[in-house]
Amino acid sequence: MFWGPPGIVDGAGGSRTSAIEHQSYRKRIMPPSSTVPAEAPKRIGVAADHGGFESKKYLVGMLREAHYDVVDFGDSQPNPEDDYPDFVVPLARAVARGEVGRGVAICGSGVGACIAANKVPGVRACLIHESFSARQGVEDDDMNVVCLGGRVVANTFAWELVKVFLDAQFSGLERHQRRVAKVASLEHRDSD
Ligand code: RB5
């Protein structure tokens, strides 16, 4: 299974600006290790605070049953005092480094998890409540972390959303690469 966008060739057919954006995107956001070959294990990272703990437990079971290689970033127990950034940020960094192909981040509403994950350059996290966006978010926007509200969506529906997310692939269409690169360029600018 292909986890990252296909190689960005040279911006042929695009403007000079888009070619530069593409190169920048490729260098900084898509390290070679982020592209897992079709035959490699499907390695998925999961993270949750107490608000998402039960959902995470359920989803880890379902993912493993479906033969995904799951890396659990915690929390390892339901602790009402824990803080979602402590688990979501390590997951997000692992996604950005290509150590896991994609991530599933859960808190009570999914909002905090989404905000935290998107602070990590290279992460494109979205709070998802329905399957259209679970699929199109990957196909068009190259979403690599799905955020869920453990107190909002039932476990079985969360699993449906995760399956749609994991089955979807970035289209790689030039117009989508261009848009993703424009978003990525903000990370570059803000870290200068
Ligand atoms: C924790 O109680 C809760 O605020 C957190 O899980 C999450 O919903 C934040 O967005």
The tens-digit pLDDT sequence of the chain (192 residues) is 333 333 322 233 333 333 334 444 444 444 333 443 353 349 999 999 999 999 999 999 999 999 999 999 999 999 999 999 999 999 999 999 999 999 999 999 999 999 999 999 999 999 999 999 999 999 999 999 999 999 999 999 999 999 999 999 999 999 999 999 999 999 976 544
Rounded to whole angstroms, what are the CA distances from 26 to 23, 31, 185? Answer: 5, 7, 11
Residue 36 forms part of a structural domain: no
Q: Is residue 10 part of a domain?
A: no
Q: Nearest C-alpha to atom 10 of ligand 1 is from which residue?
A: 112
What is the 3 state secondary structure string of the chain? CCCCCCCCCCCCCCCHHHHHHHHHHHHHHCCHHHCCCCCCCCEEEEEECCCCHHHHHHHHHHHHHCCCEEEECCCCCCCCCCCCHHHHHHHHHHHHHCCCCEEEEEECCCHHHHHHHCCCCCCCEEECCCHHHHHHHHHCCCCCEEEEECCCCCHHHHHHHHHHHHHCCCCCCHHHHHHHHHHHHHHHHHHC
Whole-angstrom Cα Rg for the chain: 16
112 alpha carbon to ligand 1 midpoint, in Å?
6
How many angstroms separate the alpha carbon of residue 117 from the centre of ligand 1? 14
Q: What is the pLDDT of residue 25?
A: 41
Element housing 131 (H / E): helix 131-139
User: In this structure, what CATH number is given to the domain that contains residue 167?
Assistant: 3.40.1400.10
Q: For position 188, what pLDDT does the model report?
A: 75
The answer to whether 22 and 14 have CB atoms below 8 angstroms apart is yes
Residues with CB under 6 A from ligand 1: 49, 51, 84, 107-109, 111-112
Q: What is the model's pTM?
A: 0.80
Structural domain boundaries, residue 172: 41-187
Residue nearest atom 5 of ligand 1, based on CA coordinates: 108
- Report the domain count for the chain: 1
CA of 159 to the centre of ligand 1 (A): 20
Residue 126 in tokens = 């979205």
